[in-house]
Structure 1
């Protein structure tokens, strides 16, 4: 019984590692294509421009996903989190570098998802379970910053990182859980949540002239539109994690559970 449990757990981790790697490679390829404007070779001009504006989605998913999947591995094997924290610091360093070192616009714009990913990887490294109020508190603080200071230069320029920080605590600690913990919400609630993450910024983008009228509400709608990629990046990563878990028929065991099974 113990050997069977261990082999299933090991096989499950190996299968997840393959899927995670493939997912990140796809994200990296798409991001590289958008940064180099490869889409201009085969897409109509207007569509190419619009698609190119979404490179931040893939940068956020690539950076945050790398940290998250490494964290899964460390929790499954009981190894040190130092490599994950190094990824966190690397994201923050890259965010500063691409912004301050005179990089091309298609690269400079990635400072937002890199900053957001670095901060969120640090958040995911906090010991779990967190007090139930913590993700709501963080989301509330970020929401307050957006509402009060959305027109302050730094907050305005970091719209995509701010929106990711706004929704990720709820995405990964209320709807689903980071690393290898069991999802906390029903499939219906998760579906509704993902729909909200996709549709809310889409509606803000479609608001047209409302965004240019000035005033509190138009400014807030404009900010949500500017931060659309933060919403969509979190949604894409969460959707992948949900689908990956759904396809896995083998239960995921912690090292403690495996040890008990072996006994």
Structure 2
């Protein structure tokens, strides 16, 4: 357990490093959210003294807390440009949060290793998409109707919450495979991030309520100290990463992000041995 006396400073220093690294990498790869933040947070929380049994829970929940303001800001910006598919978003207004709340219940009893396995499984599939994706790949000419659409919304909410991500990669993949433009997919994903992050934060607060091993300034599994430190640092560092990205080709960035995810999967797998 992390105590206020003497041990809070290392935690703050670790969170400062996590915020800067996550922001830079989000800007570099053009993908925000937990796909980057969760492994970065996990790599600094345990050395800072957070109990290993809940470090993954705190990383996932805190990542969702960071996503709330960024997804809201992104959604309103995309909506102002008229790029959001409101019909799809409205059809998921109950399905995605239902998946989120189901995941929050699962998070209340699943182990940290179990969360790592979920993250590894989805991250590996995303890595394969990044490494071998072709824009010509299609599963259909338009997004399917119910009940398949509702089921997909529930799954996106469920797995995104357990990973601590805003659902952008999953939503982008789903929409582009069904003949939607990447611009509309990205815009709509920002709205899905709102549907995931807000109920996700509430659910993870409830799931971790009263855990004796939580780090200081935590409400359930969400560490408010981390959220307050990481948000401004990630916003400040993201443009630096984006500037570096301009010197690289898009395909090279996709490959680099795929390799990054495979490295994360390998590290998580090693930690489970």
Q: TM-score, normalised by structure 1?
A: 0.31
Between structure 1 and structure 2, the one with the greater Rg is: 1
Q: TM-score, normalised by structure 2?
A: 0.31
- By relative contact order (CA 8 Å, sep 6+), the higher-ranking structure is 2
Normalized per residue, the structure richer in helix is 1
